[in-house]
């Protein structure tokens, strides 16, 4: 066989092998994506999955959802780059002392990766409710959160009462907080 024919066959073999590798890669990606989409969707009326996250500025202090059993919990997913998140933070801060006294805890789950930016945000808005770090996005994935802000309202029994995607007004926020306030 001529050397030029061997080169052509070698090039064809490399091309076909590369094409096969790409096709196998796409197949694996499709299978993994399908399996990932099969995870449970968190919906109204379901039990809120437990999680544990570190609190910003606490040097390792963590908050676990199951420790708040018997309280209403507002779970807000947000980031500093999210404009609507900035709009609703003052409302959350305004209502926090009143509802904390009534047995409702506000937990703000931050999805940023830069601690300095988050610290400045907390200082700027003078936030007093717990801000939790979800560095790897594990709680975001657990709750299947898409766009932010997304807020879940969880009653004293740990059941999701409402899930709101998008910013909350002061009156809507107060209405949802009243729904999850434990009975005396």
On whether both 51 and 120 belong to a single domain, the answer is yes
On whether both 11 and 61 belong to a single domain, the answer is no
Q: Lowest mean pLDDT: which of 17-26, 94-103, 168-177?
A: 17-26
Of 173, 180, 156, nearest to 69 (Cα)?
156
Entry pTM: 0.77
On whether both 108 and 27 belong to a single domain, the answer is no
Coil, strand or helix: which one is 160? strand
Domain count for the chain: 2
Answer yes or no: are the C-beta atoms of 107 and 76 closer than 8 Å. yes
Choose between 168 and 16: higher pLDDT: 168
Torsion of CA 141, 145, 73, 128, to 10 degrees: 90
At 94, which CATH number? Answer: 3.40.30.10
On whether both 136 and 62 belong to a single domain, the answer is yes
On whether both 105 and 28 belong to a single domain, the answer is no
On whether both 27 and 73 belong to a single domain, the answer is no
At 4, is the pLDDT very low, low, confident or very high (cuts 50, 70, 90)?
confident
Token output for 10 = 């070698």
Token output for 78 = 């947000």
> Which residue segment(s) compose the domain that 7 sits in?
1-37
44-61 pLDDT, tens digit each: 999 999 999 999 988 899
On whether both 11 and 65 belong to a single domain, the answer is no
On whether both 52 and 23 belong to a single domain, the answer is no
Choose between 20 and 133: higher pLDDT: 133
153-169 pLDDT, tens digit each: 999 999 999 999 999 99
Torsion of CA 106, 112, 115, 118, to 10 degrees: -50
Query: DSSP assignment, residue 162?
Result: E
On whether both 33 and 50 belong to a single domain, the answer is no
Please state the rounded mean pLDDT for residues 22-39: 70
On whether both 64 and 120 belong to a single domain, the answer is yes
- % of the chain residues with pLDDT over 70: 93
Q: Indicate whether 34 pLDDT > 70.
A: no
On whether both 120 and 140 belong to a single domain, the answer is yes
On whether both 53 and 31 belong to a single domain, the answer is no
């Amino acid at each position: 066989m001529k050397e030029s024919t061997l080169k052509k066959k070698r090039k064809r073999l490399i091309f076909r092998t590369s094409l096969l590798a790409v096709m196998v890669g796409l197949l694996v990606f499709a299978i993994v994506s399908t399996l990932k989409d099969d995870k449970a969707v968190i919906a109204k009326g379901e039990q809120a999955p437990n999680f544990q996250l570190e609190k910003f500025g606490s040097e390792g202090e963590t908050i676990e959802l199951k420790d708040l059993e018997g309280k209403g919990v507002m779970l807000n997913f947000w980031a500093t780059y999210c404009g609507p998140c900035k709009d609703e933070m003052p409302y959350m801060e305004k209502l926090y002392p009143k509802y904390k006294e009534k047995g409702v805890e506000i937990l703000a789950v931050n999805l940023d990766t830069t601690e300095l930016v988050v610290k400045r945000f907390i200082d700027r808005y003078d936030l007093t409710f717990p801000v939790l770090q979800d560095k790897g996005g594990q709680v975001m994935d657990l709750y299947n959160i898409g766009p932010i802000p997304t807020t879940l309202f969880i009653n004293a029994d740990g059941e999701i009462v409402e899930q709101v995607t998008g910013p909350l007004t002061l009156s809507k926020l107060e209405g949802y907080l009243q729904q999850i306030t434990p009975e005396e």
